[in-house]
Amino acid sequence: MVDELRQRYNLKILLSISKLPKSTYSYYHSRKHLEATNRRKNEDDRILSIITPVFMHHKERYGYRRIIIALEDELSGINHKKIQRIMSTNKLLGKQPRNKYHSYAGDNGAYKENLLLHKEVNTETNKTEYKRDFSTSKPNEKWTTDVSEFKAPGGKLYLSPIMDMYDRSIISYDISIHPDFSQIKRMIDKAFSNNSNLEGLIFHSDQGWQYQHKTYMNWLKDKGIQQSFSRKGNCMDNSLMENFFGIMKNEMYYDYKYESLEDLRKAMKEYITYYNEERINIKRKGLSPLEFRQQSLSS
């Protein structure tokens, strides 16, 4: 009772009225505080025991938001700030974004339109504003591609993937020791063989030399695909692909040591399978890219 009332009244007066020795009060008060601390610690340890196996299964890639989605039932009713605190205190930290290979090598002189950019005129300021539109309503409406470099003992590997903007899935990719045109052909051949009727698809890229190649442009034209380019020097125009490379490198590359190019190649392939089939996307109802795609195609 004294403990409850001391928030409003002077402790000395309360002890006097209740005829409770201060030493007795201090003993029980500290014991109560210790019991509460122990209860909290036990609860934290219980939550930690639930989180840790999932965190390790995903190779330390999940932050607290994805952990909450992955363990929706087990962590139901627990405040997200508590989960964030427990993970932070125990150094269970998801990997954060870092540099990229640039393929720009001049201009072929052709007109390059950014089909993802919409021009709007602000009627109040009379200024023209440009807004990127990555939105889609179904698979195979908008694709994006780029090339990124990975180093390992013995040389470098170059990853060239195609992402569907609808579900962020990697629908085709090629890994090569040379970022040459043969790599782009292999990637395109896989994408075309797995996806029919691409008429009207917008295929976006930066202004890398590969995507300005006449043969490449004709491949897209023959399929009825509309080619779209980022503005020169504007990486935000292809931010979805940049974001994927950032996630991949943070989660399987920067903090890992690979003994050879083959080890790295194997890890890259395993990661893309994991990304497509297992890694949940917070903005896609907590589903992996392929789960979201299959749900869409079946509805």
Identify the pLDDT of residue 109. Answer: 60
Q: Do 151 and 272 contact (CB within 8 A), yes or no? A: no
- One domain, residues 145 and 76: no
Kindly state the average pLDDT of the residues 8-18. Answer: 75
**Mean pLDDT for all residues in the chain:** 86
Strands 142-145 and 155-164: antiparallel
- One domain, residues 58 and 124: no
Q: Give the percent of the chain with pLDDT over 90.
A: 45
Kindly state the average pLDDT of the residues 213-226. Answer: 95
**Rounded Cα–Cα distance for residues 279 and 274 (Å):** 6
For residue 97, being part of any structural domain is answered with no
**Rounded Cα–Cα distance for residues 178 and 114 (Å):** 28
Kindly state the average pLDDT of the residues 236-246. Answer: 91
Partners of residue 160 on adjacent β-strands: 174
**Rounded Cα–Cα distance for residues 230 and 219 (Å):** 19
- One domain, residues 122 and 82: no
Asked if pLDDT for residue 264 goes beyond 90, the answer is: yes
Interval 158-207: pLDDT, tens: 999 999 999 999 999 999 999 999 999 999 999 999 998 899 999 999 99
Identify the pLDDT of residue 110. Answer: 66
- One domain, residues 185 and 285: yes
Higher pLDDT, 288 or 96: 288
Q: Do 262 and 270 contact (CB within 8 A), yes or no? A: no
- CA Rg, the chain, in Å? 28
- One domain, residues 262 and 152: yes
- One domain, residues 219 and 275: yes
What H or E segment, with its residue span, contains residue 67? helix 64-70
Q: Do 232 and 212 contact (CB within 8 A), yes or no? A: no
Q: Do 245 and 148 contact (CB within 8 A), yes or no? A: yes
Q: Do 133 and 142 contact (CB within 8 A), yes or no? A: no
Residue type (1 letter), 202: I
pLDDT band at 106 (very low <50, low <70, confident <90, very high): low
* CB contact set of 176 (below 8 Å; sequence gap of 6+): 157, 158, 160, 182, 183, 186
Q: Which residue segment(s) compose the domain that 67 sits in?
A: 2-89
In CATH, what number is assigned to the domain containing residue 205?
3.30.420.10
**Rounded Cα–Cα distance for residues 1 and 45 (Å):** 31
- One domain, residues 235 and 292: yes
- One domain, residues 238 and 123: yes
Identify the pLDDT of residue 220. Answer: 96
- Distance from first CA to last CA of the chain, Å, rounded? 61
State the total domains in the chain: 2
- One domain, residues 132 and 14: no
Interval 108-144: pLDDT, tens: 666 689 999 887 777 777 787 778 899 999 999 999 9
- One domain, residues 136 and 178: yes
